[in-house]
Structure 1
Amino acid sequence: MPELGALPTVVQLFTRQAARTPDRIALADGDERLTYAALDAAVNRLAARLAAAGAGPGVLVGIRAPKSAACVTAMLAVLRTGAAYLPLDPEHPAARTELVLADSGARLLVTTGEPATTTLPAVRLDEDVPATAAVPEARPGPASPAYVIYTSGSTGRPKGVVVPHGGLAALLAGMRDLVGSAPEHVWLSAAALTFDMSVPELYLPLVTGGRLILLDPKAAILGKRLAALIEREGVTHMQATPSGWRVLLYAGFRAPRLTALAGGEALPPALAKDLRPRVGRLINMYGPTEASVWATSWEVPWEPDTVSLGTPLPGASVHVVDDRLDRVAEGELAIGGTGVASGYLGRPALTAERFVPDPYGEPGGRLYLTGDVVRRTESGLEFLHRSDTQVKVRGYRVELGEVEAAMDELPGVRQAVAAVSGDALVAFVVGDCPALRTRLAATLPAYMVPSRVIRLDSLPLTPNGKIDRRALEEKL
């Protein structure tokens, strides 16, 4: 792999590809088809409007719009100005959106319809205004921010992960070599744009000359419809969480030429064994948002007995360490290399806690401490458990502390604990709070609202006076 500073940015790669294959279909959104030339022209028009509105290097631009060709255009247009983008889900509660916008310091909002906030200037995607000036050429460096994605926070406050251009470029270069993305390939994008899993499936086809098929995330749970789309469009590459792959299997899915990537949550061995003979390749991917999406991979063999996290992608390094950062056979997984994010936006103390100097890499390098406890095996790394209360719900990262903090603020709640059962959140509540789930939905994304509420007279405690989470799990 080239040195990080030598890697071109995603928007430079896309521009070069558009010049090479202007008439090839780049993107399909339902019945809408855009060639590389048409998409590049739309990006230029919107980038000019954004630059005139103040977008440029050092500026963060919020994008609040349904997943669509226009939204992908907006992401590329923001990058073309040299600014960084912040994806916002239009289905999240308005209070959540306003909190994230305020916390991020975004200075411009790209949206459809009426803006979600009245405090920021807005550029409307549904107004295709002709460009009046050329876009100033931006040359962001490898450390310049490309995007910010907010994840759940253990203290009750979501946190923004800043991913630089260098990390994004390294991810695309490593995945291109891993999965063989090429002009003849067709990628399906099924993830929500606020889910970092969407990043490689959006950009990799557009920088390698392939075709991108957009799918509304809500349609991804319709197994038969999704399977038919994969066959109709000739999809060759697709990412999904294990929960998503299970939906397809229930629908009788089979695609012998498909490269299937599983990630976002642990891949159960039984599911890997069922899925492997139905696809051409099955690759288990692992990585947190703080490591630019994916950091390791493992090619699943026929008849797998166990599932491994595998080995590092090109440019990444992984270490199993103890509290002193000494290497051990079983301990916390630490990730280093080119994909490590810049840190948490506006959170220097938290950044210093989780991003530490890398004693094993290049001078000035850093390790991200994942909180995942793993052990080394012959096939790579085996995930054991979390060292904290972070969980995964349908691939989304959820800090139980944030859910509990939201419940604690509700009137009538004396104590509250969140837990996970299968792929669903459960709330244990002491007190009386009518319409608890409805109240939570006013401030939390839908995937963070418990699907079950169990009322208790008191919470079980350990001999040390702490909440006995194991005893609570027995009530599920």
Structure 2
Amino acid sequence: MTAATTTLWGGPARPPCLLDSLVTTAREHPDRVAVVDGDRSFTYAGLHGWVGEVVALLRGHGVRPGDRVAVAGARSAEVVTAFLAVAAVGATYVPLDAEYPQRRLAHMLTDSGASVLLHTGAGPRFDSSAVPVAIPRPGAGAAYEVVACSPDLPVYVIYTSGSTGWPKGVAIPHSCLDGMAEWQRAHSPRPDLRTAQFAPLNFDVSFQEVLGTLCGGGTLVIVPEELRQDPFELLDWLAEHRVERLFLPNVALTMLAVAASAEDSLEHLSLVEVNTAGEQLVCTPPIRELFERLPGCRLTNHYGQSESAMVSSHVLTGPPSSWPALPPIGVPLPGCELLLDPADPDVPDVGELLVAGLPLSLGYLNQPELNERRYVEVPRTPHGHTRAFRTGDLVRFADGVAWFLSRTDHDVKIRGYRVNPLEVDAWLLEQPGVAAAVCVVVEAGEGARSLRAAVTPKAGAELDVPGLLKALEGVLPEHAVPQSIAVRPALPRTPSGKVDRKAVAEDLARAR
């Protein structure tokens, strides 16, 4: 790209190391509750001591700075403790969400090269060269020293959808997470809010929930898994646990707002901040009504990618009735510079968004060609950056604020998760009897969308649709499995011979 003529700058930033922030908080507030998980609660002193026990365990297994350690299990106090211990020794945390298919987890573990596998319960049901180690129950506690921080030391590797049929890992360094944790601490109404831990382990918002809370002296309350899909029960749970801060994708926020509309009063809720991320925020009538009834609670739209975590934010102000239907993604965080690569030189304020500065990740694991395409050298920016990440998002800059317009590639957001439909295509084409396959997004109304697929059989083959769906469930996370698969004698084509995805989507929408 040519030198950027229009950029947005979040201002200078010198965030403290998140490890130092965690230790300082534990020292200053030892008796404050740090984590609540069901009927268990842990003070900062208790959590700090438990982390020390896991640190000793890791160092006893030879884990050193720069090594990778996988952690398998469900969202829990154990997994939070394991993450903090892995970060404390300077190793890189690789989350393996128990809700994912075993084959997918096995690939992630192998691809990451993790040497140790911490786990809850009986552990994963697949073979691995990583040494399995059960996360210990909290004991008497142990003191420990955290590793010296450096900006490029990777804190975690998270896997995101790819086009090959397997996900790709992204390494996130301290420079990115330190800035995010400090910004969240300073940006929220209070640094010590009671925060729900709602996001799955393999969704990067989970790190914002954990670090944004524990670095500020707040209380992290683990949401029971069965409540994540039940907005009515979740609403009661939020009230019971006096939750003040919540992070939700747009579709989950809409569902919660619909559930709240059935309540005579919302005075039992303690919410002061709701943050939404993962997809375009749509201010539906239920969402507007929810915040009209919660005048002491603010709504903030967050934007970022797995490759750059937290990039920008926008706080909605004024009466909810005045909010735009599609709010902007806002202004960059401190230390972040946003660049535009215009497709049309005559329209310099619209183009693909590039991210530079603190949020930039280290790149994809084992993907040199992809790194070369997405992490690019750029002419020196107004704030001295020469490396940036191509987001694939088309945006517009106006009056110092960024607005999301669309994607420039095949990636889509389903319930807040990034999905590449080509990954679904690839797995469908692996199935016996499938000659052609395409996965598309079907819009089902304001703010609602779903994945659906169409396949054509090979000559003489009869396709078993339930069997195809079961095969996909064995390798894809639940949000990436199409809601339906339609069998067609042929797929519509463009004049160039490519599958006409728009025509397929229209056909499947009519067939619903």
Q: Given the two structures, how large is their TM-score scaled by the length of structure 2?
A: 0.87
Report the more deviating stretch, 358-367 or 25-34. Answer: 358-367
Report the more deviating stretch, 87-96 or 58-67. Answer: 87-96
Equivalent residues in 2 for 1:138-157, closer than 5 Å:
138-157=147-166
Residue 354, structure 1, aligned to residue 374, structure 2 = yes
Higher relative contact order (CA 8 A, sep 6+): 2
- Note closer, same or farther for the CA distance 1:2–1:139 as it changes in structure 2 (3 Å cut): farther
CA distance in 1, matches of 2:479, 2:226: 12
Residue 266, structure 1, aligned to residue 280, structure 2 = yes
- Note closer, same or farther for the CA distance 1:383–1:136 as it changes in structure 2 (3 Å cut): closer
8 Å CA contact 2:87–2:93 kept in 1: the answer is yes
Equivalent residues in 2 for 1:63-102, closer than 5 Å:
63-102=71-110
Report the more deviating stretch, 317-326 or 278-287. Answer: 317-326
Residue 377, structure 1, aligned to residue 398, structure 2 = yes
- Note closer, same or farther for the CA distance 1:440–1:21 as it changes in structure 2 (3 Å cut): same
Please name the residue that 1:244 is paired with.
Answer: 252
CA distance in 2, matches of 1:14, 1:473: 48
SS at match of 2:260: coil
Number of residues of Structure 1 aligned to a counterpart in Structure 2: 472
8 Å CA contact 1:309–1:380 kept in 2: the answer is yes
SS at match of 1:308: coil
- Note closer, same or farther for the CA distance 1:127–1:418 as it changes in structure 2 (3 Å cut): same
Equivalent residues in 2 for 1:406-425, closer than 5 Å:
406-421=427-442, 422-425=448-451
- Note closer, same or farther for the CA distance 1:258–1:470 as it changes in structure 2 (3 Å cut): same
Please name the residue that 1:459 is paired with.
Answer: 491
Equivalent residues in 2 for 1:269-280, closer than 5 Å:
269-270=283-284, 272-279=287-294, 280=297
Residue number among 463, 474, 477 corresponding to 1:445 in the alignment: 477
Query: CA deviation digits over 1:236-256, x for unaligned, max 9?
Result: 211101111111112126447
Equivalent residues in 2 for 1:53-452, closer than 5 Å:
53-116=61-124, 117-126=127-136, 135=144, 137-183=146-192, 185-252=193-260, 254=266, 255=269, 257-270=271-284, 272-279=287-294, 280-291=297-308, 293-301=309-317, 302=319, 303-306=322-325, 307-322=327-342, 328-359=348-379, 360=381, 362-363=383-384, 365-378=386-399, 380-421=401-442, 422-431=448-457, 432-434=462-464, 435-452=467-484
Which stretches in structure 1 are left out of the alignment for 5+ residues? Answer: none
8 Å CA contact 2:351–2:394 kept in 1: the answer is yes
8 Å CA contact 2:189–2:272 kept in 1: the answer is no
CA distance in 1, matches of 2:35, 2:288: 33
1:141 is displaced (CA, Å) by 0.7
SS at match of 2:284: helix
Which stretches in structure 2 are left out of the alignment for 5+ residues? Answer: 1-9, 443-447
SS at match of 2:247: strand
Name the Cα RMSD after superposition. Answer: 2.3
Q: Given the two structures, how large is their TM-score scaled by the length of structure 1?
A: 0.93
- Note closer, same or farther for the CA distance 1:352–1:181 as it changes in structure 2 (3 Å cut): farther
Query: CA deviation digits over 1:264-316, x for unaligned, max 9?
Result: 1111133553443244101111111111x221111113221341111111111
CA distance in 2, matches of 1:256, 1:73: 26
8 Å CA contact 2:16–2:182 kept in 1: the answer is no
CA distance in 1, matches of 2:293, 2:396: 29
SS at match of 1:269: coil
8 Å CA contact 2:378–2:388 kept in 1: the answer is yes
CA distance in 2, matches of 1:327, 1:135: 55
Give percent identity, aligned residues only: 33
8 Å CA contact 2:49–2:143 kept in 1: the answer is no
